Homo-oligomer: A and B are copies of this chain.
Amino acid sequence: MAGDKKLVEAITSRDVDFAQWYTDVVKKAELTGYTSVKGCMVIKPAGYAIWENIQKELDRRFKETGVENVYLPMFIPESLLEKEKDHVEGFAPEVAWVTQGGLNPLQERMCVRPTSETLFCDLYAKDIQSYRDLPKVYNQWCSVVRWEKTTRPFLRSREFLWQEGHTAHATAEEAEERTKQMLNIYADFCEEFLAIPVVRGQKTEKEKFAGAEATYTIESLMHDGKALQSGTSHNFGDGFAKAFGIQFTDKDNTLKYVHQTSWGMTTRMIGAIIMVHGDDSGLVLPPKVAPVQAVVIPIQMKKEGVLEASEKVRAALAEAGVRVRLDDSDKSPGWKFSEQEMRGFPIRIELGPRDIAAGQAVLVRRDTGEKTVAPIDAIADSVKTLLEDIQKNMFEKAKAFRDAHIYEADDYESFMKTAEEKPGFIKAHWCGDAACEEKIKEDTTCTSRCIPFKGGEPKEGAVCVCCGKKAKHLVYWGKAY
């Protein structure tokens, strides 16, 4: 078996070189592929199937709250991008420009959307006349382009896939409610579906989205102790509405501006899954998002009855709604074991002549490596129970890891020491001044991740960890992707 293992090339150890380990896993698990388009990625079947499961589940959760899907153009004329001042300043330096269509230069150049606030505003300005036209709760699944200088698969690339929701409401209260509602959908989705615990909170002025009044965020912690912004939801107030002239006649017959929100989650979450759950054998997928939940691997495949029994097990699992694959290729069992581990499929089912004679199968969990034995007759029940257990265990393990990497710092010296020595979140008080954020970033590369919804109020008498003035908030700080 040891010899077989070599068939799957070794990956760098996670604790030796996390960045290299990430690159190795992405490549060996065949999540992305080669492209000669610099800074862009090819998402291969194993990676795209994960995205399809993310899409399906998020889309279901969106639609339960009345979200409707649409599709808007991928191009934004320059004059449209420029309508909202903060927004254009935030995005203009990093867009790709189309200057020629067919054989002719364009009269006005257009960028490939980096995000579509301006296009949705353009549409809403035409479509919203009366309070009867509200709310609009639109979403689109698409790709966007941001001309990044350094790129990494899933985490930062010049083109990535996402969904972007854009809503318009009659009142500020309704917009605020929708902003929070969508953030909570993201948070629940991460925790329940991806088994990734998150901190829900608000971005500081410095870190908020270009053009937003308030940005809410969920922040997760990777295995190397770095934070990953995992989903954001923005309340625009009526800023865009004023810039684009989106007004409606309310019930009281007066003309009012709408209040808007936007919210997005991206293929970056595939990177988060890798970096939260993966280990030195490769990817570890939470059962709910795994394209394949169980792999049946026959042992001594040529012996009478082995393939038949394996196929029976496969069929019983498929019938019970388990996403199952039977690997009856001519590779060795050891090679198949390693491949299943590399690809992170939650359960491996080993089935050999002796198992079959005993009426049982060996189940091996990917998350812990633990082996159990289950009767073939009731294999579906055993597998389904085990999948639930793996999902639950993976979340608890990730949460315990995250919680063990949240530190507190009451003074600047201990903040700097923690930032240098202990990868993770640092909870520390802050005065609310951007200058302190700036100084902390310069000194430690830590940024304010969020003011948490729970526990963001400062303790009595607390002072800013940086300048010592009266604290306004307790903030989660961290080095981030």
Interface of A toward B, CB cutoff 8 Å = 33-37, 40-45, 48-49, 51-52, 68-77, 80, 93-103, 110, 112, 119, 122-123, 126-127, 138, 142-143, 145, 147, 149, 158-159, 161
Contacts and interface: CB of A to CB of B under 8 A. Distances in A.
A33 B127 contact: yes
A40 B122 CA distance: 13
A318 to B, nearest CB: 13
Contacts of A159: 73-75
Given A37-B76, A43-B70, A71-B42, A101 B147 contact: yes
B73 A37 contact: yes
Considering the complex of A and B, which 4 residue pairs feature the smallest CB-CB distances, nearest first? A40-B73, A45-B68, A102-B147, A97-B100
24 contacts: A33-B123, A34-B127, A36-B80, A37-B75, A37-B76, A41-B73, A42-B123, A43-B71, A44-B70, A45-B68, A45-B69, A48-B71, A74-B74, A74-B145, A74-B159, A75-B96, A94-B102, A96-B98, A96-B100, A96-B101, A97-B101, A98-B98, A98-B99, A101-B158
Nearest to A158: B101
Contacts of A143: 71, 74, 142
A98 B99 CA distance: 6
Contacts of A122: 34-36
A126 B69 CA distance: 36
B101 A100 contact: no
For this chain, the copies found in one complex come to: 2
Interface centre among A52, A93, A95, A96 (most CB of B within 10 A): A96
A105 to B, nearest CB: 9
Given A77-B36, A93-B103, A123-B33, A69 B52 contact: yes
Contacts of A97: 98-101
A138 B70 contact: no
Interface centre among A73, A80, A103 (most CB of B within 10 A): A73
A27 to B, nearest CB: 12
Contacts of A42: 70-73, 119, 123
Contacts of A98: 96-99, 112
Contacts of A80: 36
Nearest to A122: B36
Given A98-B98, A98-B99, 13 more contacts: A34-B122, A34-B126, A35-B73, A35-B119, A36-B77, A37-B77, A37-B119, A42-B72, A44-B70, A74-B112, A93-B102, A96-B98, A96-B102
